[in-house]
Structure 1
Amino acid sequence: MQEKKLASVSGYVFLLIGLACFGVAAFLLVRNYGFLFPSLLSVSGVFILKGILVIYPNEGIAATFFGDYVGTIKETGLRWVNPLYDKTKISLRARNLNGQQLKVNDKMGNPIEIAAVVVWQVSDTARALFDVDNYSNFVQIQSEAAVRFLASSHAYDNMEDEHEIVTLRDNTGQINAFLEQELNERLGQAGVHVMEARISHLAYAPEIAGAMLQRQQATAVVSARKQIVEGAVGMVEMALARLAEKDVVQLDEERKAAMVSNLLVVLCGEKSVNPVVNAGTLYT
């Protein structure tokens, strides 16, 4: 089913004609010109006025004639069409769907909670009314299915798989684009266009949230320690190089090892180190 335009004419002229029919019928009744002709005029007035429509902005009216779809009227204002048409109003305004929180397993099998907000509007009135049973309910169910499919196709983060490029937590822009594309593919058959789709809620499920938080904290500590050690090693190398360059002191391999050990303890320790003054020689 494809939407097609239905021609209509201005309703003001037919409004005047319909009112004129009632006026002439009343005049004839008052003048005692009989009952048949005024009755025909009154029926004609009712028939004409039945074809008048009031169409508001961002609203359409789909018309059928004895079960056959004849077209959709989108011109705003007072319009007139064949009074025998069966007419159905449908909104073309943008609508919000605030999806409920869903518990889904991500790509790695971890249970997560996810929800999305979808902005959509009807783009094809014929498909929305005649290709699906209830297009609003269809949008809600297919949106939930798309969110579930998206969550199961991507990992929450790349902590378990460092080679994972796109994750739900770190690549929100790409994830939103994937969700919007998936929704447009699913909802196109219902004549619905998705204007925007965004993840509104994303978290680990409560039963694993504590364990995942500890894992994230441990990963952060390891990463910080790694950076500290790399910086400390660089500083030790620079210190030894500067001592050798300036010829401040000559150290054998054993004393270099002791100096490196002391510097690493000072630089990598979590607490400040209390200095100890050595009044003897390096070898006592």
Structure 2
Amino acid sequence: MSEATGRMSEATGKGTGAVGAASRHPVIRNEATTEIPVHLLFRDEAGDTGETPVTPVAPGATVVGRRQGTGEQRRVSGPGSRAARAADRTPAERPGPAGPGWAAVGVGLAAAAGCAALLWWVGLAPGPVRVALGLPPRTYDGMGVGDWGALFALAAVGLCAVGGLTRGKEGHALVLTLFGAYRGSVRRTGLVWLSPLLVRRRVDVTLKHWRSEPLPVADRGGIPLRVVVLVVWRVADTARATLGVSDHAGHLRGQVEAGLARVFSQLPADALGAGGSGEGRTVRDAAAVGDALTRQVAARAAAAGIEVFSVQPLRVEYAPEVAGAMRRRRFAALDAADRERALTTAVDAVEDTVRRLTVRGLVGELDDYERRSLVRELTVAYLGGR
């Protein structure tokens, strides 16, 4: 009896231990009977569960933090994410449904011939036409349902064949839409057949040169400027240029103005420093400014299907309201720089002259007063001669 009681208590202890171990790791059973450990739902760090570390966030992006204790993952948003999502939703250019025009002309002529034959068969062919074609006369006994159906079918085929004919031009593309949905683009030239149900928009895809009017910008110091640029561009993706933006030419103009504001705000209009040397990068460095403008505008215009080859500044000048003051300032700076160079040259020449006179023994030992007098006279002579 004591041995049985001991075995029962031992079994009871084992069961209690198993229950206690299970209670330390509770689980939730969902409708699919999948066991999910509760403690994993409240892990916020990837290292606690052995997951792969999160990819670093791109520069300029904003991280929306997750709520502690919920297992919610971080959401990343940035200035380029909205534009990227909009570009992804815009369909890319693809070939549209188009057929050869000569085939449509043949179908239209065949349909017309079928209609004429049907009218002759039922006896409705005009007399002159029948005589000209050498057809025997036939008596009109009325048209049945089948005759009317065949006549309407032939007429519909002929109208569809002739109504879908269009002419493709060199340097132009046709963007096709059906009930507002993009169906493709056609770049074929010559006689082309398109479905009459498709809405067509003609887009110019030739290379274009746009010379802007004077655009207002400001340099790094806030000095207002007027800049004229030459932009070489073309439409590369007709679908994005037509359906992605309302006006691709206006979109390009806006990107050019934004690029000018970004590039010119980082450079001074003139590099006349304290020494008046005029060295350093300025907005008048056409090569460097043009390369920077081309890169920025091309990167941002590509989302609208526009390919930008070059953006070069042609003329940079001060705004009319500050032009007079800035010219006077520039001339004063140039004059000060010239005076400083002249003075430096004169002082170097006087020093060299005094040293040579002393070394060659042309003058004896000079006291401070005599040396100052000699230096003064030589300086006046050099500057006066200049």
Same fold (TM over 0.5): yes
Which residue does 1:119 correspond to in 2?
232
Structure 2 CA distance, aligned partners of 1:161 and 1:228? 16
- The residue that corresponds to 2:186 in the other structure is 73
Moved segments of 4+, more than 6 Å: 160-164
Specify which of 278, 287, 306 is matched with residue 173 of structure 1.
287
| TM-superposed deviation, 1:92 | 0.4
Q: Which residue of 2 aligns with 1:8?
A: 98
Aligned to 2:112: 22
> Of 229, 237, 244, which aligns to 2:351?
237
Measure how far apart 1:39 and its partner are: 4.9
How many corresponding residue pairs?
A: 270
- The alignment's TM-score, normalised by the length of structure 1, stands at 0.80
Separation (CA, whole Å) in 2 of partners of 1:221 and 1:192 = 47
User: Quick check: 1:3–1:71 contact (8 Å CA) kept in 2?
Assistant: yes
Give me the TM-score of the superposition, normalised by structure 2: 0.61
How many angstroms apart in 2 are the aligned matches of 1:256 and 1:11? 101
Q: Which runs of 5+ in 2 are unaligned?
A: 1-89, 125-146
The equivalences for 1:18-167 within 5 A come to 18-26=108-116, 28-29=118-119, 36=148, 37=150, 39-159=152-272, 165-167=280-282
- 1:142, CA displacement in angstroms? 3.3
Alignment-derived partner of residue 223 in structure 1: 337
Look up the match of 2:325: 211
User: Which shifted more, 81-90 or 19-28?
Assistant: 19-28
The share of aligned pairs that are identical, in percent, is 27
Measured after TM superposition, the shift of residue 248 of structure 1 is: 3.4
> What whole-Å deviation, never above 9, does each CA across 1:218-252 have from its counterpart, x for those lacking one?
21112112222222233223333433444334351
Larger Cα-atom Rg:
2
Residue 16 of structure 1: CA displacement? 2.7
Structure 1: distance between partners of 2:260 and 2:123: 72
| 2:307 counterpart of 1:193 | yes
Alignment pair present for 1:264 and 2:379? yes
Name 2:19's counterpart in structure 1: none
Structure 1 pair 263–27 and aligned structure 2 pair: CA distance change class (3 A): farther
Native 8 Å contact 1:116 1:147 kept in 2: no
Contact 2:97 2:183 in 1 (8 A): no
CA contact (8 A) 1:118 1:197 kept: yes
User: 1 CA distance for matches of 2:237 and 2:254?
Assistant: 19
Kept in 2: contact 1:59–1:93 (CA 8 A): yes
- Are residues 235 and 86 of structure 1, via their aligned partners in 2, closer, same or farther at CA, if it must alter by over 3 Å? same
1:128 CA displacement: 1.1
Alpha-carbon separation, structure 1, partners of 2:299 and 2:169: 29
Shift in Å at residue 26 of structure 1? 3.9
CA distance in 2, matches of 1:97, 1:91: 14
Q: Is the 8 A contact 1:118 1:196 kept in 2?
A: yes
Unaligned runs of 5+ in 1: 274-284
- Whole-Å separation in 2 of the counterparts to 1:49 and 1:188: 38
Contact 1:115 1:147 (8 Å CA) reproduced? no
Q: CA deviation at 1:112?
A: 2.4
What displacement does 1:265 show? Answer: 1.3
Deviations 1:115-157 (A, max 9, x none): 3332221111111111112222322333333333433343222
Q: Distance in 2 between matches of 1:104 and 1:9?
A: 50
Answer whether contact 1:26 1:38 (CA < 8 A) is retained: no
Q: Judging changes above 3 Å, is the alpha-carbon distance between structure 1 residues 161 and 207 closer, same or farther for their aligned structure 2 residues? A: farther
CA distance in 2, matches of 1:64, 1:240: 90
Instruction: Pick closer, same or farther for the CA change 1:139–1:74 going to 2, 3 Å.
Output: same
| Separation in structure 2 between the aligned mates of residue 242 and residue 159 of structure 1, nearest angstrom | 36
Does the Cα contact within 8 Å between 2:248 and 2:304 map onto a contact in 1? yes
Give the Cα–Cα distance (whole angstroms) in 1 for the partners of residues 241 and 365 of structure 2: 85
- 8 A contact 1:107–1:151 mirrored in 2: yes
1:97/1:140 contact within 8 Å kept = no
Deviates more, 1:233-242 or 1:33-42: 33-42
CA distance in 1, matches of 2:223, 2:313: 18
